[in-house]
Structure 1
């Protein structure tokens, strides 16, 4: 989940007051689209569309329709306003179908109840969880996510080998994931129930310091992985669950790499360079270390240092140059991102067309859009069953 700005929430509050008579769902107007930053002919776009029909595109990290806000409790005033705007899963799923997306992560947000907005730092921990609150919030969110499937909006994707059958349903595949392992309370024993719920990936840390580690900070946090975190990593390995290190400081991430015997991923990030640095980016060295384990870096279309979809394409090529095409996937943070430059799944054919136009071969593009994620996921499952 990306940064929610104070300005965005205050703007939503004004809209809420103005639109109360029409119901909160009328407030979910589609935001102004980010610029493309390039020209694409009809033929080049058609090539992107044909490519996506032939190869499954899978988003490693997303919050389609912001399901995580439904039923959230204990929120501070500004996030109450944000949540009161409601959810919009139907619109995003429709965009998936129109754009040709095969599947996506549908991520719960484990620490949402205890966050607040800081003018200086964006989302930060505001309070501690009450006893049992984190687990109760997780159960509410996973129930809401699974209802999207029972209502016929999506088809659950619980294993990579199911992708063909899921595509045949005509509905997008939904991979249940959780951003933040706070709901585990430091206990690896709860992972079995989460796995039984259908959860297939967990981001170990989000914006709250939990029993595993702390989140990324501007100060170059050198927090490491706790003993409880090491147990959770090992149990996720055993269950064949994908470990996501997005939001984790580098020292802790390197400890995960030392403990895990399965590939891991940073589902949505970028690499720091001499020209552009940010606390949510990671060093090129760490990215290469993740790749050396067979893992993945998710190309993140946050508007940090880029302003259009062409900039996202630049970012994808930078990552492939840094770690190799086998270790890059798409991690959009859709509907939870900060100033996204890829903000609508209907633009997927344009992104595919642009990458192909700029010289990415179709086999390589197939790896980026979904092949790498499905392969790494399958490797974790096979290894975990041995």
Structure 2
């Protein structure tokens, strides 16, 4: 079977779905394919999202995929001192939700379908070959070989992206910047309140542990580590945390998720003639927090906008698609460069230094939380940081 489309989006995660929806809204033929038999599985996400992200992407909150409304965040230092930022203590820049990604991702795909996107699941792209007008993709759908002809490919196939490599892009994240992540969804957790909980220090070398509440007694508990900081596995540290944390003493695992998280910042070669990379495939993951859902969807939006223009202009060259690079650099990349510098500095700190920073934050006026204020506090607690962070103020 042969199929012809203007744009082929490979990968039906949030970035791919938003790209497809954006293109379909311009009445352009777009096909979205995904190798999985069920959209949204397996999840590789702590499932948190800011309300402003939904507003920015014109996604109406739906109780079917919201499991919890988050009221704040608690950060616990190595010495177990905890600082809390919530609507009772500070003026938060935003609030958020904990999602059920299996439902949320399907919602995004269904929305793209309603706008005119054609969708094929259980469809794996096997080879990508350039043609004078774009690409020919050989794929397998439910055991049947199909050929897809397209003018533009938007690759949204995750951190192990094969599509960019097959198209000739140097799009792989360096292994030193690939965090090893594991998460347990657990029931019978002794939760209090609706805050996200973060634990820092040697409890999780080169990363942090998160506890995201999903219900009265349900939570995602996970972590990501950089292998350059330990010779032990991510599972070792998560199991140790679960065994030693009182709120998890009677909890049991109902789901396990594992995977890599690219923390090196945006991939430089994220576009070429007739192709753009979005989401994890192009490194759209905050290097400091590991959060990727917001920036993934933004990358999909920008790729969709640029692809639509290119199709209408009948010019899908690298010169035209460079607008995607420029948009993502301006709205995402510049911030990522700053966060990368903060991350690199924080990775040099021992538990004692982290304790001092948390202590300094607890003594400071945090009636309004800003990045600049936090940077000043870090520098005050650790004067040597001014050499690396001073230019960011």
TM-score normalised per structure 1: 0.26
Bigger share in strand: 2
Q: Which has the larger radius of gyration?
A: 2
Q: Quick check: which one's helix share is greater?
A: 1
